[in-house]
Each structure stands twice: as C-alpha cells, then as structure tokens.
Amino acid sequence: MSSSPRPRVSDDQRRARLARRHLLAPAHRAGSTEEVADALVGLHATDAATVYLSACARLAEPSPGDVERALYEDVSLVKLLSMRHTIFAVTTDLAPYVSSSTARAIAARERAMLLKRLRAHTEGHAPWDEQRLARTEREVLDALAARGEATTAELGKDVPALRETLVTSPGKAYESRQSIGSRVLRLLAADGHVRRARPRGSWTSSLYPWAPVPPIPEMDVREAKAELARRWLAAYGPATEADLKWWTGWTLGDTRRALADIGAREAELARGETAHVLAGDLDDDPEPAPWAALLPGLDPTAMGWRGRDWYLSPDHVPALFDRAGNVGPTVWWNGRVIGGWAQRANGEIAWRLLADAGAEAEAAIAAEAARLSAWLGAVRVTPRFRTPLERELAAG
C-alpha cells in the first residue's frame, strides 16, 4: 500500500496563522499580558523594553501598567534564563515546563562557568570554591528575606563578598572588571531563587532591585520538553525540526524525541521542506482582514523560526538585524516584514518600507505608528541591540 501524500502548507497559509495565533490582527488582540505571553509561549526579555512593546502591540488596549501588574504585582509572569540562553518572560503556568526542560540545564552550566572564572580571575580576600559560593548565596538570600527587596549594590552592604571584583579577559586590550555581585545574583535568578522586582524609575529603567521567589516546581524533563514543544508548535507550526531545535536550543535527539512524544504530524512547506504540525491542526486559518503591526527588537514573532524566508526577504536582513543575529524593530504587513521603525528623541515614530506595499498598507502602518506613539507618551525607548536601519531612522 502506498502512503498518503503529506499535506502541503503554503506560505500564505502560514502568514494567515500569524494574524490570529500571534494576536497581530486587530480583531484578535488580547485583553491581558498573560494572554499574550501564553499565545507566544513566552516574551523575549533580554531587553526589558521588549516585554512591554511586544505585549502592547497585541493588547486591545495597550497599557504598560498591565504589563507591570503581571510582572510585579500579580507576579503571573516570571523571567527565566532559558531557550537559547535567552531571558524569556513566561506565565507561572508554563514556568515549571520551561524550567525543567531548559532553564535548569542552563543554570548548571552558568554555575560551572562562574566557578571557573572565580577561581582564575578574582581579586578578593579569600579564594573562591563551591563552598564559598554556596555560603555567599545563602547570605544573599538571608539579606533579601530581611529586606524584602534590594539592589545588588544594597546587598553588597550586607554581604561584602559581593563587592569583590571578577576580572575578565585579563591581559587583553578589552580586559574589564565586573562586580561579583552581579554574577551571583544572575546565578540565583537562573536557579529560580530571586526575580527582578519593579525598576526604580520608569519601566525602561535598568536600575531594579531583586526579590526572593518561591521555588518553581520540578517535573520530569522529558515530559516538560514534550509540553513545551506542544505549546510552541501550536503557536508557530507548521515548522521544521530545525526551527524547533534552534528556538529551544535543545540537541537534535531531544528535539526529535519531543516531536515524537506529542505525536506531531509531517507536512510539506512551500519550498519542499518537511515540517511538523500538531495532529488535527492542518485546517487553514480563515483569511484575515488586512493588518499591519510595528513590532519591537527581539519580538517573539520575528525571532520565532530559524527559516524566515516565508515572512522576511533575505535582502532585508542586513538592515534589520545586527551582526549577532538580533532583529531590530520591524514593520509588518499581512504576515510579512516589509520595513523597520525607530523612535526619535522628540518621540516621533519614524518608519521606512523596504518593499512597496501600496497605499492601503502605508495608511495602516501610519495608524499603527500613531497608536504606538499614543501609548508611549513621554517615554523614550532605545533598543538594547541596535540595527543599521533603526540607528538611521532614530538619528532623523
């Protein structure tokens, strides 16, 4: 007997899915930050502003206050150093799966790396080893329990070891010194013991205190990987094995095992690649009304796949990405990236199209720029990872 041919999914069908599943078309925008985070599996949080910009781009009523509520009041979103060694903000429901599938292994590597550097390149009163690091961590947690929350500098007053210096790249022209405190707090965050509390200043401020958190429940690693793969495929599928491997940072073996565990089905993409989709998820999404979106640097949609030709022209990559592969602010029209944007010093949202999309697209993009400008108000945002087009537009 011959096997049935694999179902074929066109690029247009994949782009139509973005409108609803990524909450980008106006008719599908969300009512809360938690809804946005779950729809996208997680929000990139290496640049703190991305969480706000990504969420508000998809909220029916954009509100930085709603993002702050989720992060700092309800604490229904938690930040974890996880997929691809990147910080993601995920809901507390998903956090155990992200922690067990990905973050715990990264935390173990972070600990080993920090110990290696502490032993080799510290300037302190006593040598560092596992025991001293563990003792310092306990002292930090005790200090936080007493204070409630505190910055790294404030904790250094209670735990003098945090004020010691870690020398990186000794003897090189780019030699630098880092506070051991910043590295220890990063490690405690990676291990799930502390979180970043509300910044002292606006939501764009990088001066934030730390606060203790209850431990994230541990679960079976294989089960956690399967559930993370299922949620990702529901949001980003159909997608290739290489896409999932890249997005998670897993090994090829772990990626294939997770796809098998969730019973993923094969499909064929427009260029003939083999993709995977959840069983029962091959029906076409309805064709959405035309839509535009202005998404920030590192947005989950722009960074969702390794293979991007179906929504991003390779010719546009040099203008929209930095040399490390970080995407800058992008302009979208009906599921394609067609340009970039930036905020100028006077607050103006400047944008430029890299492809002709017609008058309807330009009017919709202008409306989105006005919507973004309205909720930003007096706030000024500069991406942490700047790209050639963003720099040019920001300079005016």
Q: How does pLDDT run across 161-186, given as a tens digit for each residue?
A: 999 988 776 667 766 778 899 999 99
**Alpha helices (H) in the chain, listed in sequence order:** 11-21, 33-39, 48-58, 64-68, 95-98, 104-120, 130-147, 152-158, 180-190, 221-236, 241-248, 252-261, 317-320, 359-376, 388-395
**CATH level 3 topology of 95-212:** Arc Repressor Mutant, subunit A (1.10.10)
Q: Which residues of the chain have a pLDDT value below 50?
A: 1-2
Q: Give per-residue pLDDT as tens, 295-320.
A: 999 999 999 999 999 999 999 999 99
Long-range pairs for 71-79: beta carbons < 8 A, 24 or more residues apart: 71/33, 71/198, 72/197, 72/198, 75/195, 75/213, 76/34, 77/33, 77/34, 77/37, 77/43, 77/51, 78/195, 78/213, 78/216, 79/45, 79/189, 79/195, 79/196
- Same fold flag, 95-212 and 221-283: yes
Residue with tokens 């106006």: 26
Q: Return the pLDDT at 125.
A: 65
Domain extent listing, the chain:
95-212, 221-283, 292-395
Q: Return the pLDDT at 2.
A: 41
Domain 221-283, classified CATH 1.10.10.60, yes or no: no
Q: Return the pLDDT at 1.
A: 39
Q: Return the pLDDT at 120.
A: 79
Rounded CA Rg of the chain: 22
